[in-house]
Amino acid sequence: MAQDTLLKKLDEVAGRAKQLVREKNEATAKTPFLEREASELRSLISLAESKADEMLRVGTKDQTPQAINAAVESKGIQQFGGSPPSPPKGRKSGFPRAFGLD
């Protein structure tokens, strides 16, 4: 009886050892892939940092972004020699009735 119990435990230990060897082999096989992936991520981070630095340098060279200049200098439709359209007759505003502004 004691021998049967010991044999069962030995089989369990052998099965667990095989499982651990299998897991170790899988982890070892994944290592080069993960190292390549980590290297690619480092490269992407470096590229993103350099692009961000470049964008910050351009912004600090006394250059105001185009959108800000356009908003300050734009006179809207008057810029094109016209005047804003007037609302349709009988309406106070050009918004549709759905907004309840009539």
Would residue 80 count as lying in a domain?
no
Would residue 99 count as lying in a domain?
no
Number of domains within the chain:
1
- Residue 65: partners with Cβ closer than 8 Å, 6 or more residues away: 59
Would residue 102 count as lying in a domain?
no
CA–CA gap between residue 54 and residue 33 (Å, rounded): 32
- pLDDT, one tens digit per residue, over 62-92 is 555 555 555 555 555 555 555 555 655 655 5
CA–CA gap between residue 45 and residue 90 (Å, rounded): 60
Would residue 40 count as lying in a domain?
yes
Would residue 95 count as lying in a domain?
no
- pLDDT, one tens digit per residue, over 3-56 is 999 999 999 999 999 999 999 999 999 999 999 999 999 999 999 999 999 999
- pLDDT, one tens digit per residue, over 11-22 is 999 999 999 999
Would residue 73 count as lying in a domain?
no
Domain span at residue 27?
17-61
CA–CA gap between residue 23 and residue 34 (Å, rounded): 16
Would residue 39 count as lying in a domain?
yes
Q: DSSP letter for 10, please.
A: H
